[in-house]
Amino acid sequence: MTHDVLIIGSGAAGLTAALVLAEQARVLVLAKGALDAGSTAWAQGGIAAVLDEGDTFEDHVRDTMVAGGGLNRRETVEFVIEHAPQAIERLIELGVPFNVDPAVDGGLHLTREGGHSHRRIVHVNDATGWAVQEALLKAAHAHPNITMMPDMVAVDLITDRHRTAPTGERRVWGAYALNGQTGRVECFAAKATILATGGAGRTYLFSTAPRGATGDGIAMAWRAGCRISNMEFMQFHPTCLYNLEVKNFLITEAVRGEGGHLKLPPGVPGGGERFMPRFDPREELAPRDVVARAIDHEIKRLGLDYVHLDISHKDPEFVRGHFPNIYERLMGLGIDMTKQPIPVVPAQHYTCGGVLIDLTGRADLSGLYAVGECSESGLHGANRLASNSLLECFVFGDAAARDILARWDQFAPPPELRAWDESRVADSDEEVVIKQNWTELRRFMWNYVGIVRTTKRLERAAHRIKLLQGEVNEYYGNFRVTADLIELRNLLQTAELIVKAARARHESRGLHYNLDFPQTDPAARDTILVPKVR
């Protein structure tokens, strides 16, 4: 199949790009699962933008740079933040029903989250991502130039080596993808390709990311010959619900932003007391890396399973009004957050590194762009500031689309490409191998490459990754691909990049904390990994 532009991913970044491109081009959007199954729909908090009279772009830039440990690229930070109000306006035009504040003559209600010096988070109750996803999908479905195909698992990017007559050109012409309905790999050719595949949260045992967050875009770009940057900076959200029956339910940062306190549970020394004042003067409003490490420290120090997040001292109507979805979900589990604390633990939440891009979203290969969580634009640095992630999706989705349209005459039609070859493989006879290796990978990544690291732990992780890669590569070469095999291959590739980057950083900065190198170097440097196939 041939389209003008191929977009891999149907979340905020991919659909934003699609809607801009569709005014002049035929766009195909591939989704790994359901069209709304990505990370966007899971975003509870909101979108950061300078909309309050007392706030300024410079304040938002400073907050972003402080949270990012000085590793952010200031040009990128300014670019994204200055375009934030326009992004909010476009979403309003699409019908996103942001909460309004009757106290400011119908203006948008702004909440505050950790690391922000002002109230600047626009939101739709505590389910902003779902409302945004719904509005974007509705607009995309209505556009005749946009085709969306669910249940399509991208396998690899199509590069010059996949041409029937290779020329040595460093270019991308689309992607191969597994059709979940037919079980066959299909060739999708395009003049330009945008990766909007999300992050790599499922590399870890505990994560708030959806099932499909397996680092697909990052791994495909690396195999194709793109540089990957800052993969050691994996953000752990401080407050994921601790419940043995319900996994991966996030308790939004806004609960702390609206006055929630982190406390030690009863039955231990200091039980019932707040502990964040001991770690940071910003207390519960410290950036996520600080709060996550503090919780991890207390859990390990006292042998706990969880700590408490308590907002029961606030008016019940206030709590129910601000967090209706969380309130209902917790009530279904027997937890009344207006009367009792919520048990929480940290969990992997966001991939700050990814495919290295410029301000237009361009990656290293001609015809290839990356936007959203799979990219490394320089916005987040060593730690993402809360609610800057959806913002990045809108700004860079728009920027990539406009760059493609501005350079349209430079994009030639795809050449003749080779079809996917299955002539020398058979159907898998040992699916248990995939399940075993997946479980092993996620467990040792959690234990060895988690919130706190050591050189020895990283070496052990690297050794295990190498062993598993040998098994999986042999398996990949002998059997027809399945969705699980594709994801495991990408998870292992992403894990290798995370560990390689972590071993190269001999300091502690932002989300990367190594007990063997606790100091922070005076100069901030990116970790840029270069593939051998470049």
**HEC-encoded secondary structure of 397-426:** HHHHHHHHHHCHHHCCCCCCECCCCCCCCE
Which run of H or E residues covers position 220?
Answer: helix 216-224
Query: Sign (positive/negative) of CA torsion 489, 44, 273, 285?
Result: positive
pLDDT score, position 237: 87
The CA distance from 441 to 454, in Å, is 18
113, burial (CB in 10 Å: exposed 0-12, middle 13-18, buried 19+): buried
Beta-carbon neighbour count of residue 431 at 10 Å?
12
Q: Which residues are catalytic?
A: 288
Instruction: State how far the alpha carbon of 534 is from the alpha carbons of 196, 220, 257, 355, 528, in Å.
Output: 22, 13, 45, 14, 13
Selection from 201, 229, 178 nearest residue 355 by Cα = 229
Residue 517 structure tokens: 């190198």
pLDDT score, position 423: 66
pLDDT score, position 222: 98
Residue 525 structure tokens: 């440097």
Give Rg (Cα) of the chain: 22
pLDDT score, position 7: 98
pLDDT score, position 386: 87
pLDDT score, position 534: 58
pLDDT score, position 371: 98
The low-confidence residues of the chain, meaning pLDDT below 70, are 106, 247, 423, 428-430, 534
CB 41 within 8 A of CB 18: no
The CA distance from 343 to 386, in Å, is 21
Selection from 14, 4, 3 nearest residue 394 by Cα = 14
pLDDT score, position 312: 97
The 10s digit of each residue's pLDDT in 283-342 is: 999 888 889 889 988 998 998 989 999 999 999 999 999 999 899 999 999 999 999 999
* pTM, full prediction: 0.90
Selection from 349, 361, 345 nearest residue 385 by Cα = 349
Region for 285 from its dihedrals, namely left if φ exceeds 0, alpha if ψ lies in -120 to 50, beta otherwise: alpha
Domains of the chain and CATH, by start: 236-348 (3.90.700.10), 432-518 (1.20.58.100)
Selection from 137, 133, 111 nearest residue 123 by Cα = 111
